[in-house]
Amino acid sequence: MVQPRVVTFLGPRGTFTEAALEQVPGLETTERVPVANVAEALSAVSEGRSDAAMIAIENSIEGGVTAAQDALAATPGIRILSEHVVSVNFSLVAPAGTRIEDVRVVAAHPVAWAQCSGWLQRELPGRAHLPAASNVTAAADLTTGTAQAALSTPTIGHWVDGLDVLADRIGDNPDAVTRFLFVGRAGEAGEPTGADKTSLVVELPSDEPGVLLDMLEQFATRGVNLSLIQSRPIGDRLGRYRFVIDADGHIRDERVADALLGLARFSPSVTFLGSYPRADQQHIRVERRYSDRSFEDARDWLRGLIAGEPGARSAD
């Protein structure tokens, strides 16, 4: 991939999403453009106003970010290039001079509020929640809003002046992380690394009994493990769903490619979002019968049958 000149991300400056950009090599001279939401970040890529975008897709506590999943499914012409994991924790901040006992309303992004709910119930029971568009916005709007304090990033002091930290590292789970996706425009799939994921959006052909099992069997019968599967409403009427899927492996792996061919015959709509290296670099163990060599040997055997060779086949 050519190094991007412009990258969009959920703003304002100082969010965890911008922190994820620090993990992408070669962006030192890239223009970083903060936007209001994930859909805007991706549409900028699709329409050519940006070369790439960073979006949050999954949190270890709250699960999938549904707005991002829906935006990926709805935005044409994009590909996931890489994934990145960022440790997530929060501070309670307030305008200088504020005492914690003065706090009656806390501004917070809904995900931050959920991840600090235990601490809030213990230390600030009964306080009202004022939803904010981002962790940075929650703090930046304290001087003009109705909240006396905000849940924000530990580095918020670099971006917003005049704040005191009333409490630090207040997330209920100190090991919480968020997974981010670096997304660019559609292009040729890269080479497999042996530690890859393939992301898809798949629609079912009907709502008949067993049809979901039919979809899952496209992966199971080829030895492809699914690390994520989440249903999202298509939106045209009640009862219609698409599935956001992360499969272990790369589209250039025989077992994954064969599963996609099966899905193409089965589903009315399969959207390939990309094959990309796993953030944890964990290599995928594959049984011999699902290896590339096994698929290649089976095709050679079939070609031999067609050519009139003996039909017997034994395992190596």
51 & 182 share domain: yes
Asked if residue 4 belongs to a domain, the reply is yes
Q: Give percent of the chain above pLDDT 90.
A: 78
60 & 127 share domain: no
CATH number of the domain encompassing residue 16: 3.40.190.10
The model carries a pTM of 0.87
Asked if residue 221 belongs to a domain, the reply is yes
Backbone region of residue 239 per phi and psi (left: phi > 0; alpha: psi in -120 to 50; beta: other values)? left
pLDDT digits (tens, 9 = 90+) for 30-80: 999 999 889 999 999 999 999 999 999 998 888 888 889 999 999 999 999
Asked if residue 42 belongs to a domain, the reply is yes
83 & 97 share domain: no
Domain end position, chosen among 153, 187, 221: 187
Residue with tokens 């698409």: 242
82 & 6 share domain: yes
76 & 50 share domain: yes
Asked if residue 316 belongs to a domain, the reply is no
Containing domain of residue 161, as a range? 91-167
Provide the pLDDT for residue 1.
60
- The count of structural domains within the chain is 3
182 & 55 share domain: yes
pLDDT digits (tens, 9 = 90+) for 269-301: 999 999 999 999 999 999 999 999 999 999 999
51 & 181 share domain: yes
pLDDT digits (tens, 9 = 90+) for 98-157: 999 999 999 999 889 999 999 999 999 999 999 998 889 999 999 887 999 999 998 898
Asked if residue 262 belongs to a domain, the reply is yes
Which residues, other chains included, contact 140 with Cβ-Cβ below 8 Å and sequence gap of 6+? 12, 159, 160
197 & 304 share domain: yes
- What tokens appear for 58 in the block? 């999954």
212 & 262 share domain: yes
Provide the pLDDT for residue 315.
59
122 & 1 share domain: no
142 & 22 share domain: no
Gap between the Cα atoms of 100 and 92, Å rounded: 9
Asked if residue 172 belongs to a domain, the reply is no
